[in-house]
Amino acid sequence: MFVIGSIDRLTGFLYATLAVCFGRISFITKYISFDRLTRWHHYHTIPAMTFIILHFVFLTLSYAQLSRSTFWTQQLKFLRFDEILGAYVALILFLLIAGFSFLFSFIKIKYEYWYFVHLFVYVAALASFGHQMELGGDFRSLLFSAFWVGFGLVVLILFVWYRFLAPARLFLHHQFIVNKIIKESDNCYSIYIGGRNIDNFRYRAGQFAAFRFLTKDFWLQSHPFSISSAPGQKEFRITIKNLGDYTKRLITKLKPGTQVIVEGPHGQFVFNDNVKRAVMIAGGIGITPILSLLGSIKDKGIETHCFFSIKAQGELIFKDELSSSGAVVHYHASDDLGRLTLDTIKQSVSAFRDYHYYICGHEKMIKFFRDQLMTAGVAKDKIHYELFSY
């Protein structure tokens, strides 16, 4: 029974940790990058599900041995307890969520489908709570009961506040609204968001936020986008590329005047005060947080090179803004020049190991440059990036 109790406690702790990892809790993401929390969330899922299954199997075997029943006969005996019905519902939901998540790791699906499946985590957590309180042996101790309920309440309050109440409070304060939509290229558009006291909306250059546009087509969906303008202006900007169903519909249906709920800001893709020399490497739409960074350091005397890799010249955006940024900008069209590599960068950047590198693009590009830079002797703490996935 001690082993079973230990498994129970570990299971509860792991699922509380999962909620914290994906709760977008700002005082945590201030110190731990969101992509690292996402990886921790992924790593915790397997042991958490393993402990749930072990809890189910060991508890059944233990009671079956005491009552001299078979494994399946003991299941029927468990079903006599109302609280156990909720536990079975939770078990089935957790298994389905884990199964679909495993499947989604091999096939590309819409973010909306992934999000919908994960909403059932909340249902499963609520369904499992009754049997913990009524049947858990540890809850015979008043001290443990107080600790566990308090721990659960803290996690719940943090999650609800940062995922729901804080964005609502931010919206009521700033009244975010779409001011205008500007076409940057054939498949890239900038959305300018204004409102009340926007210059006091606090974010750091390079950060991102989740945006929920309040129309009948989009109010159920919240999607993350990097902020592509520097802080402290009367409006801020996000720039999106037509990469899927959601962005395609957003480009065609979103209108000025639409109200917006903003959740954030988040992210550690930001400048530190000790950075004096920097190389920005952007791939395609990955230029968006780079633009914000460049705008924030324009008059700070930081020696900056920006390498903007695009597939073809027609994909070039923000050329005028980049030209006036104060950085030495290098445009690289891969259709004409081949793949951008560290060797190409070293031709323009002397003493390249002395620079901080900020990389934003698709995952393969980020990992390619990260590995090349580390192999070439650039210190790990001088290589900055965030990997975005779900």
Q: What is the largest CA-CA distance in the chain?
A: 80
* Strand ranges inside 142-202, DSSP E: 177-183, 188-194
Q: How far apart are CA 159 and CA 360, in angstroms?
A: 29
Summarize pLDDT for 111-125 with one digit per residue, the tens.
777 777 877 877 887
In the block, tokens 């945590």 appear at 28
Q: Where in the chain is the domain with CATH 3.40.50.80?
A: 277-384
- Chain centroid offset of residue 311 CA: 27
Instruction: Give the pLDDT mean for 122-131.
Output: 77
Question: Does residue 34 or residue 252 have the better pLDDT?
Answer: 252
Angle of helix 142-160 relative to helix 2-21, nearest 10 degrees, comes to 20
Residue from 281, 176, 154 nearest 238 by CA: 176
Tell me: pLDDT of 5 over 50.
no
pLDDT, residue 207, reads 93
* Strand ranges inside 115-215, DSSP E: 177-183, 188-194, 208-213
For all residues of the chain together, what is the average pLDDT?
84
Q: How far apart are CA 284 and CA 362, in angstroms?
A: 8
pTM of the model: 0.79
Q: Which CATH number fits domain 277-384: 3.30.70.260, 3.40.50.2300, 3.40.50.80, 3.30.1130.10?
A: 3.40.50.80
Which CATH code fits 173-266? 2.40.30.10
Question: Does residue 5 or residue 357 have the better pLDDT?
Answer: 357
Tell me: pLDDT of 24 over 80.
no
pLDDT, residue 368, reads 95
Q: Torsions phi, psi of 371, nearest 5?
A: -65, -40
Summarize pLDDT for 221-244 with one digit per residue, the tens.
888 899 999 998 999 999 999 887
pLDDT, residue 18, reads 58
Are the beta carbons of 384 and 32 closer than 8 angstroms?
no
Instruction: Give the pLDDT mean for 192-219.
Output: 93
Summarize pLDDT for 266-290 with one digit per residue, the tens.
888 998 888 899 999 999 999 999 9
Indicate the SS3 state at residue 229. Answer: coil
Q: Where in the chain is the domain with CATH 2.40.30.10?
A: 173-266
Per-range mean pLDDT, top range of 1-5, 54-58, 184-188: 184-188
Instruction: Give the pLDDT mean for 28-56.
Output: 75
Q: How far apart are CA 122 and CA 260, in angstroms?
A: 25
Give residue 50's identity as a one-letter amino acid code. Answer: T
Residue 63 CB burial class (10 angstroms; 0-12, 13-18, ≥19)? middle
Sequence-distant (≥ 6) Cβ neighbours of residue 103 within 8 angstroms: none
Residue from 42, 10, 37, 40 nearest 25 by CA: 37
pLDDT, residue 383, reads 95
Burial 255-267 (b: 16+ CB within 10 A, else e): eeebbbbbbbbbb
Tell me: pLDDT of 136 over 90.
no
Q: How far apart are CA 125 and CA 91, in angstroms?
A: 10
In the block, tokens 């995952």 appear at 363
